[in-house]
């Protein structure tokens, strides 16, 4: 091996050894910035999710109210009160299936005696 080649090899080895990684301070600052970004993003994300659930809930109520009006127009009576009214809408074919309540993930909608759809505990109205 020539002297020149050996010296080039040593140069490359020294270069690799001299490359430094991140200092502890740099890593801590990076982690801090990422932490701040996450702290800002998570509440906004939760708020948006909750808003989306409310909107789906309202849309379900509107659809069931429309179906109840059709039910009343065709059959001459409002669907029964309680969850039976929602089931009656499905049975009579005015809605395809009982909608899931997005806040609880179950089919918890009910009807009042005048064909108005209600969310569980009345937590959403429109």
Instruction: Tell which one of 83, 103, 107, 116 touches Zn ion (CB under 5 A).
Output: 103
Other residues' Cβ atoms within 10 Å of the Cβ of residue 36: 10
DSSP secondary structure letter of residue 100: P
Q: Are residues 71 and 94 in contact, defined by beta-carbon separation less than 8 angstroms?
A: yes
Which of 93, 110, 92 lies closest to 101 in space, CA to CA?
110
In this chain, which stretch among 21-29, 35-43, 68-76, 111-119 interacts with Zn ion, using CB under 5 A?
111-119
Q: Which is nearer to Zn ion, 13 or 48 (CB)?
A: 48
Least distance to Zn ion from the beta carbon of 103, Å? Answer: 4
Q: Are residues 123 and 103 in contact, defined by beta-carbon separation less than 8 angstroms?
A: yes
In this chain, which stretch among 24-32, 64-72, 84-92, 102-110 interacts with Zn ion, using CB under 5 A?
102-110
Does residue 57 belong to the site contacting Zn ion (CB under 5 A)?
Answer: yes
Q: Which residues bind Zn ion (CB under 5 A)?
A: 57, 101, 103, 119, 124
């Amino acid at each position: 091996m020539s002297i020149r080649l050996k010296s080039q090899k040593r140069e490359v080895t020294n270069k690799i050894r001299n490359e430094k990684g991140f200092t502890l301070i740099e890593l801590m600052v990076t982690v801090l910035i990422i932490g701040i970004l996450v702290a800002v993003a998570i509440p906004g994300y939760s708020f948006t999710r909750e808003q989306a659930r409310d909107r789906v809930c309202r849309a379900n109520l509107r659809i069931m109210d429309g179906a109840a009006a059709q039910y009343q127009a065709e059959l001459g009576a409002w669907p029964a009160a309680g969850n039976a009214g929602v089931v009656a809408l499905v049975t009579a074919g005015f809605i395809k299936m009982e909608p899931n309540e997005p806040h609880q993930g179950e089919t918890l909608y009910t009807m009042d005696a005048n064909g108005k759809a209600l969310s569980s505990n009345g937590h959403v109205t429109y």
